[in-house]
Structure 1
Amino acid sequence: MSRATFFEVEILDAKTKEQLCFLDKVEPNATVGEIKSMFHKSYPQWYPARQSIRLDPKREGIECSSLLTLKYHPLFIYLYSPGISGMLPAERIFWQGHVRRLVDVFLTEYAGPLFIYLLFYSRLPFIYEEKDEFTTSPHTVVHLAGFCHSFHYVKRLIETLFVHRFSHGTMPLRNTVKNCFYYWGFTAWLAYFINHPLYTPPLYGDQQVHLALYTFLVCEIGNFSIHLALRNLRSEGSKMRKIPYPTKNPFTWLFFFVSCPNYTYEVGSWIGFTIMTQCLPVGLFTLIGFFQMTVWAKGKHHMYLKEFKDYPTLRMPIIPFLL
């Protein structure tokens, strides 16, 4: 009769080389994900998403689906996690576990603008003059702008809950604070002027408003279509990267020309909103957003070029044939 063989694995801190724990009865062909789960049982505060398993402390972490094949590797493994090396647990926010149900970072970022805008739209007390409290604007464009702004962030909330698959398990709290300051602050600024009692409609009237509205809605649908296509690109839990290609959905055909059409549509939505409202704070928000999304798109585009030798050469990062 064959006897089952198990290994005892020593987990070391990748920075200090100090011993963290021993894992006994580890199967010879255990995956990295299984090792992380076993370590999580010993240290419940370190979710698997916060762990980076390495056979060499100077190398990158190994994918969760990878087999360790312990009989061919040293029986000690280095583990890197910001928290283990001194960062307080409160300084990072998790996508998973009980924390996600309480404080999801993207829900915090996107729910804020939704409610802040509606406060100005409702003209609550202490925002405008007392005579204007709880009044409504006589201009149709103001109500359309309120609908479009709310629609955009409701869509983002739905995508966060049901569409997006996050590549990283954690995010620094400072980034959350910075993003909230950006989204919430700009929302309050542009909402104040759009819903102000002295707000004047766009120069070219209904024609300008309707054209901008159609642009906004088309780009919102396009953005959602791209997010769905990216979600379907890989199965849940998989980190395997693939080249995104157009599908039967016409809104995804922008993949023929750009690497990040979700950013292209996002910028298009805010351009439409800017034209609709003809409001300077909205234009500044759109411009800053465009610069930031261009940086993200260029980074992702270069990553695609580096990772895939057969990546389509016609594609640009965010603007077809230009940028």
Structure 2
Amino acid sequence: MKYYEVEILDAKTREKLCFLDKVEPNATIAEIKNLFHKTHPQWYPARQSLRLDPKGRSLKDEDILQNLPVGTTATIYFRDLGAQISWVTVFLTEYAGPLVIYLLFYFRVPFIYGRKYDFTSSKYSVVHLACICHSFHYIKRLLETLFVHRFSHGTMPLRNIFKNCTYYWGFAAWMAYYINHPLYTPPAYGHEQVKLALIIFLFCQLGNFSIHIALRNLRPAGSKTRKIPYPTKTPSHGFSYWSPALIIPMR
């Protein structure tokens, strides 16, 4: 069997980082990453970007060495992607935050509305309905993350989670503060406004769930295949946006 020699250089400095001898021709980039990780434990596979050109695109984990435009002595360039975090952890963090934050305002924990309102409850049923809807929305998202979603990429840069959480957590706090405020007043158009908002909210929840199931079925379990959905434009993000937004008209 003809073996390959793989030389891994730093994409920025061109410094030789690793030399792999007797690499099998059918070895994948994922396997090469694992071999590189053994010599440099600080760079785990998810943190590695391997490429044939210092400024070129990253090679896919499933790419096979012998199918690449390289000779028996291959030069591959390494770039550090920085600390990574799994997408499952990202979504769980994004969605658990709003669930907890909203409940803090709902139960009126100390230091939010003033001492005399600590752990008091609203006298309006619509406030409790809004809490149920908001909690349902994010519990649904948490369960979908664990049991429905299939991810084409295992990780993302750790620094991005702070930006993502700022959006979800901040919006939840903004809504919760006003909806659960002791000076809250009922909706301007009464029960009819609440009923309409609730119906649309439930419709969006069902629509969002159906789209997530459809997208899940486009990617076989354990694969990174990306099929084009039909119709080519899905309303998933629209349903996701309107679901929490419709909690506001309930007030």
| Fold equivalence (TM over 0.5) | yes
More strand by percentage? 2
Q: Structure 1 residue 116: deviation in Å?
A: 1.0
Which residue identity is paired with 1:214? I
Q: Structure 1 residue 150: deviation in Å?
A: 1.0
- 8 A Cα contact 1:12 1:76, kept in partner: no
Which shifted more, 111-120 or 259-268? Answer: 259-268
Change in Cα spacing, 1:45 to 1:270, as seen in structure 2 (3 Å) is same
Between the aligned partners of 1:199 and 1:71, the Cα distance in structure 2 is 65
Which residue identity is paired with 1:119? L
After superposition, the C-alpha distances for 1:10-67 in whole angstroms (9 at most, x for unaligned) are 1112222211111223111222222222222323332322222222223212222222
How is 1:1-323 mapped onto 2 (pairs within 5 angstroms)?
A: 4-69=1-66, 73-74=70-71, 75-83=73-81, 89=82, 92-95=83-86, 104-245=89-230, 255=231, 259-277=233-251
Change in Cα spacing, 1:38 to 1:174, as seen in structure 2 (3 Å) is closer
- 8 A Cα contact 1:7 1:70, kept in partner: no
TM-score by length of 1: 0.70
TM-score by length of 2: 0.88
3-state SS of paired residue (2:65)? coil
Which shifted more, 230-239 or 117-126? Answer: 230-239
Unaligned runs of 5+ in 2: none
- 8 A Cα contact 1:9 1:23, kept in partner: yes
Unaligned runs of 5+ in 1: 84-88, 246-254, 278-323
Q: Structure 1 residue 231: deviation in Å?
A: 1.8
Equivalent residue for 1:293?
none
Q: Structure 1 residue 237: deviation in Å?
A: 4.4
3-state SS of paired residue (1:155)? helix
Which residue identity is paired with 2:167? Y
Between the aligned partners of 2:151 and 2:78, the Cα distance in structure 1 is 20
After superposition, the C-alpha distances for 1:85-141 in whole angstroms (9 at most, x for unaligned) are xxxx5xx33218xxx7xxx22222221111111011111122223332222111111
Percent identity, aligned pairs only?
61
Change in Cα spacing, 1:71 to 1:241, as seen in structure 2 (3 Å) is closer
- 8 A Cα contact 1:53 1:77, kept in partner: no
- 8 A Cα contact 2:134 2:244, kept in partner: no
Between the aligned partners of 1:237 and 1:47, the Cα distance in structure 2 is 21
- 8 A Cα contact 1:30 1:70, kept in partner: no
| Cα root mean square deviation, aligned | 2.3
Q: Structure 1 residue 182: deviation in Å?
A: 2.3
Between the aligned partners of 2:68 and 2:125, the Cα distance in structure 1 is 71
Which residue identity is paired with 1:76? A
Between the aligned partners of 2:40 and 2:240, the Cα distance in structure 1 is 41
Change in Cα spacing, 1:184 to 1:207, as seen in structure 2 (3 Å) is same
